[in-house]
């Protein structure tokens, strides 16, 4: 049997991976392709996605292809040391002693193959295969290590491209999965805002996650809501008004500075495929709060108000929110009220109902 092997971080698995696998299977007449996520890639930092998430995204992309198989050889290695290909090859040779093994990599890796540990030994144990990558030329390694070279259409599909905010390099199902698990959000959210607001957004998301984890709330949901809470804050004013009239006409007469709490919810659904009602509610409630605040809502609300990047010492309030988010939330309502009165700022009428319920009434959950 002819078996292909392709390894990588697959963080995430993208359409370039899928195309190369399909073309390699066809051109080399392979019977099976082993897709092998690395545990610790010596050439890269730690992954964003965890092992399960990386495997899930492979399955989503390769759905319908019956010739691929996930190999967990490296993932299941009991040691915490970095994996090297020579060790993996030796294990595979034991598992498939009578089969032809084809180890596949891009020209970016093949061009520096001479730097790999035991490169010569690897080339003697398996048939090496290289395919073209944008920006990398064929070099002497192809002949030195007896590579088969597969001519293929060179594209810029890569995990790096995704992390620069390019959506079309992955299957839409992968993008939906990633966003709903809080993966790669920073790479896409930054396009919606200025650097200053982006820094605030990341800070809020991380603080919201801390509050959530300390209060028995889903930290990932808090992080997602925090990352998306301000994505409409710097929207073009004409577009802002158009969308408010179309989707939220009942709130058009509200102060313009709070439009973004509804429009950010709209964009979270439209651009980031968020369907979780708890996350959407937390985004909607992050500015004015509401009469029905969940603990998740409170985590995001308080993180937004207490973001250390706002320039004042909020350490005591942050500590209170970690200890008891309800008490922390009450404190922030009081602080907002006192601050607004001191500065003679208008307060939206809905605030007083929320203030009465949580600060004066019985709101024990």
pLDDT tens for each residue of the chain, 365 residues long: 999 999 998 999 999 899 999 999 999 999 999 999 988 554 555 568 999 999 999 999 999 999 999 999 989 888 777 778 999 999 999 999 999 999 999 888 898 999 999 999 999 999 999 987 665 667 889 999 999 988 777 666 777 788 888 898 999 999 999 999 999 999 999 999 999 999 999 999 999 999 999 999 999 999 999 999 999 999 999 999 999 999 999 999 998 999 999 999 999 999 999 999 999 999 999 999 999 999 999 999 999 999 999 988 999 999 999 999 999 999 999 988 888 888 777 777 788 889 889 987 655 54
Looking at residue 180, its pLDDT comes to 96
**What is the architecture, at CATH level 2, of domain 184-360?**
Orthogonal Bundle (1.10)
Q: How many degrees, rounded to 5, is the angle at CA 13 between CA 210 and CA 273? A: 55
Backbone angles phi, psi at 234, to 5 degrees: -110, 25
Backbone angles phi, psi at 232, to 5 degrees: -105, 5
Domain with CATH 3.40.50.620 in the chain: 2-176
CA distances for 305 relative to 197, 210, 319, angstroms: 14, 14, 14
Spatial separation of the C-alpha atoms in residues 66 and 33, rounded to whole Å: 10
Domain with CATH 1.10.3210.10 in the chain: 184-360
Spatial separation of the C-alpha atoms in residues 218 and 212, rounded to whole Å: 6
Looking at residue 365, its pLDDT comes to 45
Choose which CATH entry (3.40.50.10710, 3.40.50.620, 3.40.50.300, 3.10.20.30) describes domain 2-176. 3.40.50.620
- Strand, coil or helix: what is 100? strand
Looking at residue 81, its pLDDT comes to 72
User: Which H helix or E strand runs over 142?
Assistant: helix 141-144
Tokens 């967990």 -> residue:
72
For the entire predicted model, the pTM comes to 0.89
């Amino acid at each position: 049997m002819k078996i292909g092997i392709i390894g990588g971080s697959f963080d995430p698995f993208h359409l370039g991976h899928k195309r190369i696998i399909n073309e390699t299977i066809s051109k080399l007449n392979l019977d099976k392709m082993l897709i092998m996520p690395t545990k610790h890639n010596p050439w890269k930092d730690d992954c964003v996605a965890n092992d399960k998430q990386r495997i899930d995204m492979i399955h989503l992309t390769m759905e319908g292809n019956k010739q691929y198989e996930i190999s967990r050889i490296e993932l299941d290695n009991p040691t915490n040391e970095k994996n090297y290909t020579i060790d993996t090859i030796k294990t595979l040779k034991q598992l498939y002693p009578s089969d032809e093994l084809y180890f596949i990599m891009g020209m970016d890796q093949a061009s520096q193959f001479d730097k790999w540990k035991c490169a010569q030994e690897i080339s003697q144990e398996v048939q090496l295969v290289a395919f073209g990558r944008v920006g990398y030329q064929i070099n002497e390694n192809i002949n030195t290590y007896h590579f088969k070279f597969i001519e293929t259409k060179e594209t810029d599909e890569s995990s790096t491209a995704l992390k620069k905010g390019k959506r079309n390099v992955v299957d839409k199902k992968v993008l939906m999965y990633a966003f709903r698990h809080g993966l790669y959000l920073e790479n896409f959210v930054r396009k919606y805002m200025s650097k200053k607001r982006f820094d605030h957004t990341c800070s809020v998301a991380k603080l919201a996650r801390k509050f959530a984890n300390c209060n028995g709330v889903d930290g990932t949901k808090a992080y997602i809501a925090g990352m998306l809470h301000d994505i409409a804050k710097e929207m073009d004013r004409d577009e802002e008004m158009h969308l408010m009239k179309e989707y939220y006409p009942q709130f058009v007469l509200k102060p313009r500075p709070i439009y973004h709490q509804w429009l950010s919810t709209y964009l979270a659904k439209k651009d980031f495929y968020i369907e979780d009602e708890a996350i959407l509610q937390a985004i909607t409630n992050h500015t004015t709060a509401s009469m029905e605040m969940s603990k998740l809502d409170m985590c995001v609300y308080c993180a937004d108000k207490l973001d250390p990047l706002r320039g004042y010492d909020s350490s005591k309030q942050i500590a209170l929110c970690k200890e008891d988010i309800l008490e922390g939330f009450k404190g922030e309502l009081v602080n907002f009220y006192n601050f607004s009165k001191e500065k003679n700022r208008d307060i939206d009428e809905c605030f007083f109902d929320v203030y009465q319920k949580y600060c004066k009434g019985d709101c024990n959950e």
